[in-house]
Chains A and B, each alone.
Chain A
Amino acid sequence: MLKVKKGDIDKMGLLFERYHRQLYRFLFNMTWQKELSEDMVQNIFFRMLKYPDGFMGFGEFKTWMYHIARNAVYDHFRRVKRTPAHSELTNWEERLEGEQFTDAKLEKEQEIKILETAMDNLSDENRELLILCRFQELKYHEIAKILNTTEGAIKVRVHRALNQLKSNYLKIEN
């Protein structure tokens, strides 16, 4: 990124190659919208090109990228009142009644759907934590840098987020 900052714009292609999949998945898990996520990836990379001064030169490029991505996501949430893509907790049971899952494979699919709904019903902050931790496979110290807090705090918050998810899941399952 330092090279990009010095005018070697082609190096941004390398960064795109390395990070765009990870960034896309983060955005998708946050918004559940494929096209929107793709647009956002594009916008985020454009912003990094246009305002390379935001990258201070210390710390990791990844941290900076997540900073911008989070801003983009929360901007989006502010503009569009988030409506969960998956149905609300209360509607879920009604929907399940119409569908019959017979074999194990379908049972698994059902579990995943329940989990997605449970994820969907978390607060944005908890969901984000779990996405960063589980889907993005970031270490606590990395998440702490992105969220500007300490590793210890992240550990506790992730634990609570997972507990919340667990209770959401059990509530839907039963």
Chain B
Amino acid sequence: MECKDYREQFTALMNDDLHQKQRNEIESHLEGCADCRKEFETARKIWELMGEIPQPEPSESMRTSFDTMLTNFKLNAVAKRNPIGEWLDKLREYWSLQAQPRLAFSLVLVAAGLVGGYLLHQPSQSSLSYNKQIDSLSSQVSQIKQVMMLSLLNDPSASQRMRAVSYTDEISKVDLKVIGALFTTLNEDPNVNVRLSTLDALVKLAGEPKVREGLVRSIDLQESPLMQTAIADAMVKLQEKSSVQSLQKLLNKKGLNQMVKINIEKNIQKLI
């Protein structure tokens, strides 16, 4: 090794950055080489002088301001870690993990389902008009039935007239014309069965005051014992107290059936 090579090792020697063996080599060279020794002395003087350059101490406030900065940073970090962000991150992660086409396909299916459902639900407006049509149709039908019933009541066949009476259940709005026709049948129809079913139909309509009045008046006009009993029963059913007078008048009628008489008396008792 030349002197130059040894001199390159000086800093390492001073910095204690050499193996024992290298150090011994340099030290033995220095003993023998005056030039290098002189060079080394100057270097060491500088090196030692460098060690005497005063090194400043950081101020106390540094620690405080660092702690403040750390606290602020932590607060920010917590604020940034908001649940929505984390959720989005998870979603993003999930998206990247999943087989994307599969997920996309299922999303498309859901979208198609939504659109299809919307389209199917759309005819709600036409169904409204459809309902209107049905309403008007059914009111027309009930009008037709009313007309039919009125004409059937005049039919010679008793069974046809009974059918006509039964139509009153199906007519949605029974008007005075129908009620009048029913009373005519009740008081004048030759067939007892027709009159009985007319009585049933009229009892169902007893909510109307006119129907009640008509029924009371009709008590006098009934000749058939069946009808007399039935109408007396109906009066009890309707709790029509104004009928008592008419029923008592019926009791005084000549030739009244004995069974009917007993029945009417019982009914009068119930009404009073």
* Residues of chain A at the chain B interface (Cβ within 8 Å): 7, 9-10, 12-13, 16, 20-21, 24-25, 28-29, 34, 37-38, 41-42, 45-46, 49-50, 108, 111-112, 115-116, 119, 130, 133-135, 137, 139-140, 155-156, 158-159, 162, 165-166, 169-170
Contact = CB atoms under 8 A, between A and B. Distances in A.
Contacts of B62: 20, 24, 38, 41-42
Interface residues of B, number: 34
A162 B17 CA distance: 16
Given A9-B74, A139-B15, A158-B11, 15 more contacts: A7-B77, A9-B77, A10-B70, A24-B56, A28-B56, A42-B62, A46-B69, A112-B53, A115-B49, A115-B53, A134-B50, A155-B8, A155-B12, A156-B8, A162-B46
A12 B50 contact: no
Given A46-B69, A139-B17, A165 B56 contact: no
Given A20-B58, A140-B17, A162 B49 contact: no
B10 A159 contact: yes
B9 interface: yes
Contact of B70 (A12, A111, A133, A137): A12
7 contacts: A20-B62, A21-B57, A38-B61, A111-B49, A112-B53, A158-B12, A165-B46
B234 to A, nearest CB: 91
A41 to B, nearest CB: 7
Contacts of A9: 70, 73-74, 77
Pick the 9 closest A-B CB pairs, nearest first: A24-B58, A159-B8, A158-B11, A134-B50, A115-B49, A9-B74, A25-B55, A38-B62, A49-B73
A20 B46 contact: no
Please report whether the interface of chain A is mostly helix, strand, loop or mixed according to DSSP. Answer: helix
A170 B45 CA distance: 12
Contacts of A25: 55-56
Contacts, number: 100
B220 interface: no
Contact of B11 (A12, A16, A159): A159
B51 interface: yes
B52 A169 contact: no
A166 B43 contact: yes
Nearest to A135: B55
Contact of A42 (B53, B65, B74): B65
A13 B58 contact: no
Contacts of B70: 9-10, 12-13, 16, 49
Given A115-B50, A134-B51, A162 B58 contact: no
Tell which of B7, B56, B63, B74 has the most Cβ of chain A within 10 Å.
B56
A126 to B, nearest CB: 12
A42 B53 CA distance: 24
Contacts of B54: 112
B47 interface: yes
B42 interface: yes
Contacts of A156: 8
A36 to B, nearest CB: 12
Interface in B21-73: 42-43, 46-47, 49-59, 61-63, 65-67, 69-70, 73
